[in-house]
A and B are shown apart, each in its own frame.
Chain A
Amino acid sequence: MPRFVAQIPIAQPMSKVDQFESVFRAALKDPFEYKPLEIKRAMLVTDLQVDQANLLAEELKSFVESAICGAVSTWATVPGAEYKTTVELLARVEHEKPDLIIAYRNLKSEAWKYPHSLGEFLDVLLQLTSAPVLVIPHPDAGYAADHSLGACKSVLAMTDHLANDYRLVSAAASFTEKGGKLILSHVEDQAVFDRYMEAISKIPQIDTDEARALLTNQLRKGPSDYIESCRTVLSERTLALDVRAQVTFGSNLAEYKSILEKDPIDLLVMRTKDHDQLAMHGQAYPLAVEMRAIPLLMI
């Protein structure tokens, strides 16, 4: 940068440039783009005997086809005897090339009795395959909700970064039965927000109350605008869904537990892939471990 510009005290025009850039950036809203999930090939991974696996497959086929309002042309069922290691399971996935994988927690383990982990097989399926994974309550456990795997009339899509997440919303919409309720939720982490506000409260140049109000408003506005766009687009596609918005501040886990307690949810849809790491998305893991009573669709 030439020195003549670097030394010019132009704080006022530049702060106004920033001010107008903010106005125009705020006006820039990526509209929701509906790209429905196309599920022609599904693959059920179990640790059951062949007969039990086939029975489960029948039940799930009805659930999935009813949810997506369409038929699954190829259905592969993998009983427990057909794989021993995660490498073998991945090879099978590679061979089947499914559009949807269905599995449950703690395959080939007794750890499903405790809400502590997902198990190595599900971990690998979630992280190393590109297909969405439908995680169902463990067939041997008694903790599945009464309405679980019945109909898919009430679907909750959750994220901490809902805006522009067209894949998540499309998947959730695809799995909501016609006339069903689609709740699009965004929970802003209250603890993180409080930590930033505490830092701001120690900066004399920033008015803390004003910053809190503006930041809160802006953090709510992005997802709210996006949900409005989702509602419009889904309505234009005549999907006849009752799209509802749930934009809050709080702790992810507590907020979702609270929603699930208030309203019977048939399917919880969340993102799991984290492009920055091999491990699952930080907030998806604890939710996937704890929300064991209903099916989860993990994108």
Chain B
Amino acid sequence: MNILSTAIESAHATSEVSQGVTLFFTFYLVAMIFCLALEEKLHAKKSLIVGLFAVGALIIGTTFHIIPFGAMMLPGGHAIEIPVYIPAIDWGVIAIIVGSSVFVDVTSRSGLFTWIAVKLTKASKGDPQTLLWLYGIMTVVFSAVLNNVTAMIIVGSLTAVSLGKLERTDKLLGFLLIEGLLTNIGGLLTLISSVPNIIVGNAAGISFLTFFVKASPYVFAATLLTIWMGAKVFKIKRLTTPEERETALTKVNSFDENDGIESAGFFWFGTLMLVAFIGVIATASVMPFVRDLGMGYVALAFALIMLIRFKNEVDQFYKAVDWDLIGFFMALFVVINVLEHAQVLALIGKGLSVIIGDVENALGTGALLVSAAGFSSVTDNIPLAAMLAKILGSTGTPGESPLWWAVIFGANLGGNLTPIGSASTLVAVTIIHKYKLPMSFGGFVVKALPYALIQIALATAYVLIFLR
């Protein structure tokens, strides 16, 4: 079945748009992506760049009469007037991101994450290779449970401090690079581990549990492979003499895992709430009532419950929310909505059908994964994921299609090809530079390329063999 062609035809049927307008907005999209790629050169935040494009897209779209205005009909049959850019935004995604980030921020104040991090450091007994394995696994788990930027910040800062204490700063570059690469693998573990997962997973109707069951074998294999390669390439070896082991043990034992715990009660409450959060998110799609309210409701509810502990200083946590990211998403959804009305997504869908073929096939799925990875290595993977999710959704692609997984794996793993491919690898490179370690853009690509290529090849094989 030609699923893309069918959907493109249906999209055409809903709105008559001239080819000129479609082409104009296609160039508009290219210009926006170009500006996002040059974010650092422009010295402007993502939210402002995309916000300005959203403002422009709305007024131009209105001028061209491609945006449908009018009252909206609610499920109860009640019609309401609402600004056209409000329903354009996927509020479910925004709610998950805001709720999760506040929840994670408040939970981290319990000292739970630093406790885990220090406990693992001590468990390594100061042996560099054991430390790499434990930090690597911790990076993946933290990326999955928190988000990849927070995971990189926690693990990266601990790595710098602990290797400094162990007088092994010569291995810091290798550790940080491997951890940076592992954040994007950990980001594949659950539906809420990364924004592309949330967007694509929501669009495809993939539940938290299904996502975890399907993605975890790959995450497990890729993690082991990446750490094993990292230990070989960066010559991170075990301690050999009893004297070395004893000295290292004394040094790591000087960490006090309880130092960051201000209140034992809040520590245990935070632990309990984190377990409950993961449990409820995992079963949100089958839990009565909760399934109707969605994961965004769960994230916001847990965040608010946690905030009770800091009821007189909640504003501090609101300030900690990455409003640039939230503004970026909102503006992006608006731009994509206008592009949809301008038939740009249908046009890209036609282009995609050339890559993936008229019917779902192995070559096309693999090509989609590789091209998604390539594209997300040089620009933000969120617009890519949002756009492809919209296109696949509008073409009626079934939820069990491997195409969704191709987008998810490609968008996440592409971040490992360049230092600007994902926010977490950028944080890793920034910590590397903070410690005055040599690492240029090209240097990162050269060092990361073997890992990224193997991870992408493994993902392609995995999607084609196990997820088709």
Residues of chain A touching chain B, judged by Cβ–Cβ distance below 8 Å, are 1-2, 4-5, 7-10, 12-14, 16-18, 20-21, 23-31, 225
In Å, the complex CA distance between A14 and B118 comes to 21
In Å, the complex CA distance between A25 and B114 comes to 11
B427 pairs with A29, CB closer than 8 A: no
| The residue from B39, B253, B324 contacting A31, defined by CB atoms under 8 A apart | B253
Choose the segment among B151-159, B277-285, B370-378 that binds chain A (4+ C-beta atoms closer than 8 Å). B151-159
In Å, the complex CA distance between A213 and B158 comes to 26
- Of chain A, the residue at the smallest CB distance from B429 is A5
Known: A13-B426, A17-B430, A20-B114. 14 other contacts (CB 8 A): A1-B433, A2-B441, A8-B40, A8-B426, A8-B430, A9-B40, A9-B45, A10-B426, A16-B153, A17-B431, A23-B259, A24-B117, A29-B259, A31-B254
Which residues of B lie under 8 Å from residue A29 when comparing CB positions?
Answer: 254-256, 259
| The residue from A5, A21, A31 contacting B430, defined by CB atoms under 8 A apart | A5
Interface of B is mostly: helix
Which residues of A lie under 8 Å from residue B45 when comparing CB positions?
Answer: 9
**Count class of interface residues, chain B:** 35 or more
B residues 130-179 near A (Cβ < 8 Å) are: 149-150, 153-154, 156-158, 160-162, 165
In Å, the complex CA distance between A18 and B430 comes to 12
A21 pairs with B441, CB closer than 8 A: no
Which residues of A lie under 8 Å from residue B324 when comparing CB positions?
Answer: 12
Report B420-438 CB contacts with A as 1/0, cut-off 8 Å.
1001001101110110000
A27 pairs with B118, CB closer than 8 A: yes
Q: What is the minimal beta-carbon distance from A24 to any residue of chain B, in angstroms? A: 4
B161 pairs with A28, CB closer than 8 A: yes
Which residues of B lie under 8 Å from residue A2 when comparing CB positions?
Answer: 439-441
Which residues of B lie under 8 Å from residue A20 when comparing CB positions?
Answer: 114, 153-154, 157-158
B41 on interface, CB distance cutoff 8 Å: yes
Some 28 contacts from A to B, beta carbons below 8 A apart, are A2-B439, A2-B440, A4-B40, A4-B420, A4-B441, A7-B40, A7-B41, A8-B39, A9-B43, A10-B426, A10-B427, A10-B430, A12-B324, A13-B149, A13-B153, A13-B423, A13-B430, A14-B434, A17-B430, A20-B114, A20-B153, A21-B157, A21-B160, A24-B161, A24-B255, A26-B260, A27-B114, A27-B257
In Å, the complex CA distance between A28 and B118 comes to 10
Known A2-B441, A7-B41, A12-B322; judge A27-B259 contact (CB<8 A): yes
B161 pairs with A21, CB closer than 8 A: yes
In Å, the complex CA distance between A34 and B207 comes to 58
Q: What is the minimal beta-carbon distance from A135 to any residue of chain B, in angstroms? A: 34
Which residues of A lie under 8 Å from residue B161 when comparing CB positions?
Answer: 21, 24-25, 28
